[in-house]
Each structure stands twice: as structure tokens, then as C-alpha cells.
Structure 1
Amino acid sequence: MKPQNLVILWLHHILNITVLITQRELFLKNVAQTSDFPLALEIERAEGVYLYDTEGKSYLDLISGIGVSNVGHRHPKVVEAIKDQVDKYMHLMVYGEFVQSPQVQLAKALVDSLTPSAGDRPVLDNVYFTNSGTEAIEGAMKLAKRYTQRTEFVSCYNAYHGATQGALSLSGSENFKRNFRPLLPMTKNITHGNMADIEQVTEQTAAVIIEIIGGEAGVRVPTIAYFQALRKKCDEVGALLIIDEIQTGFGRTGSFWAFEQFGIYPDVITSAKGMGGGMPIGAFIANQKVMSVFKDNPILGHITTFGGHPVSAAASLATINLIRGEKLYESVPEKAALFRSLLVHPKIKEVRNQGLMMAVEFADFDELKGIIDRAIEKGLLTDWFLFCDNSMRIAPPLIITEEQIRTACEIILSCIE
């Protein structure tokens, strides 16, 4: 190669490094940080179960953007739906004023995914769209207070329902709440899966808000009997049972909704994360009688500008059609079993899961953090849980293949060593 060409290549390399450093510096300077140790991976593109950085290095994504990319990154049918909707219209009017096809068709698809109900319980046939899971929780809380005319909420220790004021009030971790008090009064925590604690639900309770699977607690799976007893108690005292399916919904646990596996039917469901196929959207779903309380006293009892954005709704409709049409949840138990069979090591204390919502427990955070860091170096992205920092989060896109599962487990085991 000619000397002048070598100089040009060298300068090009130096310029590229400068650009990368500048991007990182801008990230740290101008993008609000919530920890002192962000991953700061600079991802250029994503597809399927892989992320790719600016150097072309691939990362096998075992956490799906924290339970978001259930159908994989940039699924062609989701991308096509987004492009088609952008060519028609984007934001038109605040939610609930115009008849917008993406919202209407998505609401119908969500309602169809929830029927039939158990026994003569009213079918959940009314959908209120939001921008996120936290907003869905906030709306569901307002709905419960307005419908029952009560003010007490019961949630679980080590539960996570969001970070806004109302949702944070439900959190079962004082470490996350203490520096933001005062929060909402009349909230109390019970232990997820504990039968005796069900008695704390009383005639003063507006709603019990609970995850079917304790997510940030490290994937805690209760018994069917527990949820049936909780359902019965809520009926006896007139409290609403609000099931948080923000992490568990859209096929994550082996059925479209996780509650289907527990022989119950909720009064309200909250959804988000995997709902949008990578686009921001959430919802809370109830029956028409319950939802109608937002219509008067006051009128516009709950409002949103961007909730149910047409582009997000179109992406969500494509996602729900994919998951249900291709029955992606049917292969989840088999894939989860493969993970469990491969993740065997003396340092692995326990593997907990409901479908592809998994926690791999180690001795402590320091040991786990070292494994996670080494895995990232080897091109595998994992994480831990907010309230269980000695357990590795595994929640890959549902489309992950057997070969990719084997590769992921080989990397994890090599990083343990």
C-alpha cells in the first residue's frame, strides 16, 4: 500500500475514535443518568435477538430491553406496520376523541385475547391506552378509587409497578421510596404468595394490585391456590383485583397472559413492555361498567394526549397478531426447559422461572456482577433484578432458537469459571 494511503487510513481511524469518544462524552454529559455505572454500549442497529455496536460486535440479547422485544428487535412485520401507519397519519387528536383505526383494531384484538371469562364474571371489554406501564398503573389506581369510592391499596413487598408517585407508593422496597416521601397514604404491603396475608384485604380496600409472577423480586411464582384465594377474598370485600401483566403479558410465560395459568379472572389488567414490539405503549383493561366512571363527576376523569399513539398502536397490533397467529408462546416451555437443563453449575444456587421469565441465583451481587461483565465482553447481554441483585435476569425474545440458547448458556457457564 502506498505511504499516502496508509496516512489516510490512519487519519480515518483517529477521526472515528474521536467521534466515538465524543458520542460517549455527550451521552454522559447531556443524557440524564440514573446510576454511576451505565453500560454505555453504543448500539448502532438491532435485529432479531442481536444488538450490534459501532464496531460491528454482536451481543446476544437475553433481556429483550427488559421484557420489551418479545418478537425480537425490528421484526419485519412490526416495521412494516409502522411504516404503513406513518404514511397515513401520526398524532391527530388527544386520545378518545377521534375514531382512529389502529386504536380500534388493537382494542378489539386485546379484548379478544381475554375472552371467555371464568364463569359469569364480566368480560374485560374496555381498553384505555397509555404511553407506558407506569401510566397504566396510575390510571388503574384512579379507576379503582373512583369505582369503589375507597382509598386503600394493597400491594406486595418487593413489588415493582413503576416509578411515578402513585406507582412508587405501591412499591414494596423502602430503599426506593424513602427519599421521595411523602407518597400516597393508605397503601400497605403483603407478602407475595403468603396465604395468611390475604386477610389484610378488607372492606376498606379499593384494590389489590399484584404481579402474577413477582418480577423484580427475582421471578417468584406463587401457587394456583394462592391466587384463587386472593380472588375469592377480593370478591367477598368488594375490592378490585388488578393484575399487573406488564412484564408477564404477550406470551412471556407460556400463555398469552400469565393469569390464564392460575385459574382466575381479574377485574383490571395492566399491560405494556412486550405489547408494543419495541414501540412505547401501555394499557389498562376493565369491563365497560367499571371504565364508565371516567365519563362523569368529573367529565374526562382520566385523559392523555399521546396514549394510544397511532404508530405505536399499529406496531402493537402487528405484535399481538404475530404472537397469537404464530402461537409463539407454545414453544416457550420447551425453550425454558432447555435453559434449565443447561444452566447447571455448583455456583448456581437455583433457577426459577415461569416460561421465559427466568432468574438464575448466585451467592451474592459481587459474584453475579463479575459474571455479567464477562458475559458482555463475550457478546452476551444479561442483567440482575432490582430487589434480587444476586440473581441473573434471563428474558430473551420469544423467537430465540435452540442453537442460540445453547450458545448463551455456554457463554454464561464459561463466565462463571
Structure 2
Amino acid sequence: MKDDFLKYQAQTSPHPLFMEVSHAKGSYIYDVDGKAHLDFVAGVSACTLGHCHPKVMNAIKEQTEKYMHVMVYGEFAQSPAVEFSKLIAKQLPESLNCTYLVNSGTEAVEGSLKLVKRITGRTQLIAANNAYHGNTQGSMSVMGNENRKQAFRPLLPDIDFIEFNNEDDLLKITEKTAGVLLETIQGSAGFVPPQNDYLKKVKQRCEEVGALLILDEIQPGFGRTGTLFGFQQFNVVPDILAIGKGMGGGMPVGAFIASYEHMQKLTNAPKLGHITTFGGHPVIAAASLATLKEVLESNLMAEALRKEALFRELLQHPLIESVRGKGLMLAIMVKNADVANHVILKCFNKGLILFWLMFEPKAVRITPPLTISDEEIKEGCNYILEALNSFN
């Protein structure tokens, strides 16, 4: 199968990790040789409840027995999508009360960018250096890394960039700006959190000039940082919230959320201002609803903060400069890229799955399922320390 994988399936890089998967359960992925791999990545923050969580699996099974795809988004009322949208609205500030369900995080960003243009009648968009919001052409346009997008230009015009946490750059947000798009915690840049009420100050500047703030919660979302969404810790309410990854419990999904009044702008003048065939798919929505209920009804969010403390206690080594992030969205910052590569590959061979961050070569990603146990954390951290000790 590995030969066919390379021959018939398009690749994203010349060097895939190349594990042939047999099955996955809880915090482990098993290869076809029967080897268990402890998963400290969770499908890049997507498998909030681990692999094949019974409540998610039951929700999928029950929904497939009722109906699957029946109509393009927005024409038929389907209970999983409606129930999910209603429940998430109850967890959010009053101004974030209307959800548009799509198929992925990058689609959530695309819809958000269209919406701020439609609301304001302006065209300028502002994003952050080293930002990552997806890889479709609109999302790539607001990616803050020219090396990654140069080959695909021309992209969207009228895009400007600011430095995350640099308050002097806020003056770049003007009466020409339709929207400012920021990650609540910068992911690919190295899990960089906002400092000194930065997000609150961005929102204040947006209000001064009539621009709108979009917060990308695609990685921090659904309990990973100790609250349902990261922005809830930073004294700010966005005008639009983009979500994805962990909301589906391992299924492909995304959404953007705004006020009902704002979202109506996509309904008229023109009609069908944003459309999708499979957005709000009933099986995906059922999995998302089951995931959201479990996060809300369990102690997983509080446990994420306690488990963060355990990681920080265990990950002490001369080659570790710091541990960045919040909750179970963590990045080990090591001395250089050689150390990071050694740790990730050495641990993979031992049976621990770690991963890189796109724009920070010295970082090692740790984003395990929220359901990971203390014993599994200790086991994985021992592998990491052994790998660090073996670095020459």
C-alpha cells in the first residue's frame, strides 16, 4: 500500500511520515504491524475526544441510519445542524448567535472574509505576519509568509500585514479596512499568545474606524485551552468567529459565527451570497453536536489546564528553552531545528507521534486529545526526554 500511496495519492511533501494505519482508539494509533503509537498530535488538534470516541461513533451511526445528505446547505431544516447551532449560541456572547456550517477551517475563513466585505462595503483586509488560516487562495492571501504563497500569486489584492502583539501597528487599521483577521493564539508561528490586552486593543481600534474583527479559533477551539474558545480568556468578543478542526471529533467540518443581522448579508443582494453543497452535513453535524456536548458536560476543559501543568513539570531539559501555549495547545521550544527534527523523528520510531509547526522550525507540537490520561502524558514525556538525551 505504501507504493500505491506514493504513486496514486497526491503528496504534500517529499517526506511523509509514512505509517500504514490499521486502526485507532483513544490516545493511540495502530499500524498494520500491530505497533501502538501514542498520539500527541490528535490529527493536528482535530480529534478532541481522541480516536473513535464512543459518543461520537454512536452519534454517527444513529444519524447514518436516519438520513445522510439530502439537500444543499440552507434549504432543508435538519436537526443535527440546528441543534448544534443552537447549543453553541448558548455558550457564546449574545452577538455571536448565528452559525454558518461549512466543511473545513479554511472555508470558515473564506466565508468570514466575504462577510466583512459585504457588511462594510470595504475591500482592505489585515492579517498578521506568520499567520496561517488555511490554504485555499483567499486564506492563502492572508497567510503571513511570502515564501509559502509566492508561487501561487496573484492572490487577493488589498491585503496588509501587522506584527502580532505590536501595538504600534494598530494604526495600520483605518477607515479603509473591512476586517482584521487574527488567530487568538498564533499557531504556526509557535503558539504565540496575545500579550498586554492586545486583542482587546485591536477590537477597540476596529470599532474606532468601523472595521470588523475576525478571530480564528480553528486550533484553540473546543476546550483545548481550558475554555471552550481561547478568546474567552482575553477580554474580547470578535465580530466573527471562525472554527473547525476539533469541533467534529475527527470528522471534517468548519463554521463561522456572527450576529443574525450580519449573517443576513449573505442571504440577499445577492441571494446565495455564500453557498456550499455539503456544509451542515447531518452526519458531520451529529458528530460535532456529540463532541460539543461531551466537552461541555465533562471536566475536560478544567483538566486541560491541569494536564498543561503536568506537561510543564515533566518537560525539563537543558535543550528545552521554553514551553509555549495554553492548556493542551503546547509547543516545546528547543535550541534549534536540528533538535526539533531529531526529537520528532526519534519519538516517531519509538512509538510517539509529535509534529512540526509550519513557521517555527525550533518548535515541537504537543496537541494531544483532551481525553489523554496522566499515565499517557508521563509515558510520552519520557520518550521526549530520552530523545533529547540522545541528541548529539
Same fold at TM > 0.5: yes
**Residue in structure 2 matching 1:289, options 247, 251, 261:** 261
One-letter amino acid of the counterpart of residue 231, structure 2: F
CA distance in structure 1 between the aligned counterparts of 2:233 and 2:186, rounded to whole angstroms: 15
CA distance in structure 1 between the aligned counterparts of 2:193 and 2:101, rounded to whole angstroms: 28
Cα pair 1:138 1:167 within 8 Å, conserved: yes
CA drift at 1:224: 4.7
Q: Which runs of 5+ in 1 are unaligned?
A: 1-22, 118-122
- What SS class does the counterpart of residue 197 from structure 2 fall into? helix
**Residue in structure 1 matching 2:18, options 40, 43, 59:** 40
Counterpart of 2:363 in structure 1 is: 391
- The reply on whether 1:166 has 2:141 as its aligned counterpart is no
CA drift at 1:411: 0.5
CA distance in structure 2 between the aligned counterparts of 1:225 and 1:279, rounded to whole angstroms: 34
CA drift at 1:367: 2.0
- What SS class does the counterpart of residue 388 from structure 1 fall into? coil
CA distance in structure 1 between the aligned counterparts of 2:264 and 2:196, rounded to whole angstroms: 31
CA distance in structure 1 between the aligned counterparts of 2:197 and 2:134, rounded to whole angstroms: 27
Counterpart of 2:3 in structure 1 is: 25
TM-score, length of structure 2 as denominator length: 0.98
One-letter amino acid of the counterpart of residue 17, structure 2: L
CA distance in structure 2 between the aligned counterparts of 1:201 and 1:71, rounded to whole angstroms: 39
**Residue in structure 1 matching 2:226, options 248, 254, 270:** 254
CA distance in structure 2 between the aligned counterparts of 1:395 and 1:360, rounded to whole angstroms: 11
CA drift at 1:231: 1.1
- Pairwise CA RMSD of aligned residues? 0.8
- What SS class does the counterpart of residue 49 from structure 2 fall into? coil
- What SS class does the counterpart of residue 269 from structure 2 fall into? coil
Counterpart of 2:329 in structure 1 is: 357
Cα pair 1:224 1:263 within 8 Å, conserved: no
Counterpart of 1:367 in structure 2 is: 339
CA distance in structure 2 between the aligned counterparts of 1:84 and 1:327, rounded to whole angstroms: 25
- The reply on whether 1:345 has 2:303 as its aligned counterpart is no
Cα pair 1:224 1:262 within 8 Å, conserved: no
State the structure with more CA Rg: 1
CA drift at 1:351: 1.1
Matched pairs, number: 389
CA drift at 1:354: 1.1
CA distance in structure 2 between the aligned counterparts of 1:88 and 1:225, rounded to whole angstroms: 47
Counterpart of 1:13 in structure 2 is: none
CA drift at 1:363: 2.0
**Residue in structure 2 matching 1:189, options 154, 158, 161:** 161
Counterpart of 1:381 in structure 2 is: 353
Counterpart of 2:372 in structure 1 is: 400
One-letter amino acid of the counterpart of residue 28, structure 1: L
Out of 287-296 and 312-321, give the one that drifted further. 287-296
Q: Which structure 2 residues correspond to residues 116-155 of structure 1 after superposition, within 5 A?
A: 117=94, 123-155=95-127
CA distance in structure 1 between the aligned counterparts of 2:196 and 2:32, rounded to whole angstroms: 47
**Residue in structure 2 matching 1:94, options 62, 72, 78:** 72
- What SS class does the counterpart of residue 129 from structure 1 fall into? strand
CA distance in structure 2 between the aligned counterparts of 1:327 and 1:287, rounded to whole angstroms: 29
- The reply on whether 1:61 has 2:39 as its aligned counterpart is yes
CA drift at 1:134: 0.3
Structure 1 residue ranges, 4+ long, deviating more than 3 angstroms after superposition? none
CA distance in structure 1 between the aligned counterparts of 2:199 and 2:216, rounded to whole angstroms: 13
CA drift at 1:327: 3.1
Cα pair 1:348 1:361 within 8 Å, conserved: yes
CA distance in structure 1 between the aligned counterparts of 2:271 and 2:376, rounded to whole angstroms: 52
CA distance in structure 1 between the aligned counterparts of 2:297 and 2:370, rounded to whole angstroms: 14
Cα pair 1:217 1:385 within 8 Å, conserved: yes
Counterpart of 1:112 in structure 2 is: 90
- The reply on whether 1:49 has 2:27 as its aligned counterpart is yes
CA drift at 1:177: 0.9
**Residue in structure 2 matching 1:81, options 59, 63, 77:** 59
- What SS class does the counterpart of residue 385 from structure 1 fall into? coil
Instruction: Give CA deviations for 1:11-55 in whole Å, capped at 9, x if unaligned.
Output: xxxxxxxxxxxx010000001001110011011100111000011
CA distance in structure 1 between the aligned counterparts of 2:193 and 2:272, rounded to whole angstroms: 38
CA distance in structure 1 between the aligned counterparts of 2:205 and 2:343, rounded to whole angstroms: 43
CA distance in structure 1 between the aligned counterparts of 2:266 and 2:83, rounded to whole angstroms: 22
Instruction: Give CA deviations for 1:59-79 in whole Å, capped at 9, x if unaligned.
Output: 110011000011111100000
TM-score, length of structure 1 as denominator length: 0.92
- The reply on whether 1:175 has 2:147 as its aligned counterpart is yes
CA distance in structure 2 between the aligned counterparts of 1:177 and 1:188, rounded to whole angstroms: 15
One-letter amino acid of the counterpart of residue 23, structure 2: R
CA distance in structure 2 between the aligned counterparts of 1:134 and 1:224, rounded to whole angstroms: 28
Counterpart of 1:413 in structure 2 is: 385
Counterpart of 1:308 in structure 2 is: 280
- What SS class does the counterpart of residue 313 from structure 1 fall into? helix
CA distance in structure 1 between the aligned counterparts of 2:156 and 2:134, rounded to whole angstroms: 14
Cα pair 1:49 1:60 within 8 Å, conserved: yes
CA distance in structure 1 between the aligned counterparts of 2:267 and 2:306, rounded to whole angstroms: 46
CA drift at 1:353: 1.5
Instruction: Give CA deviations for 1:370-393 in whole Å, capped at 9, x if unaligned.
Output: 111110111100011000011100
CA distance in structure 2 between the aligned counterparts of 1:107 and 1:188, rounded to whole angstroms: 33
- The reply on whether 1:199 has 2:171 as its aligned counterpart is yes
CA drift at 1:349: 1.4
CA drift at 1:104: 0.5
Counterpart of 2:301 in structure 1 is: 329
What is the identity percentage for the equivalent residue pairs of Structure 1 and Structure 2?
49
One-letter amino acid of the counterpart of residue 110, structure 2: E
Q: Which runs of 5+ in 2 are unaligned?
A: none
One-letter amino acid of the counterpart of residue 83, structure 2: Q
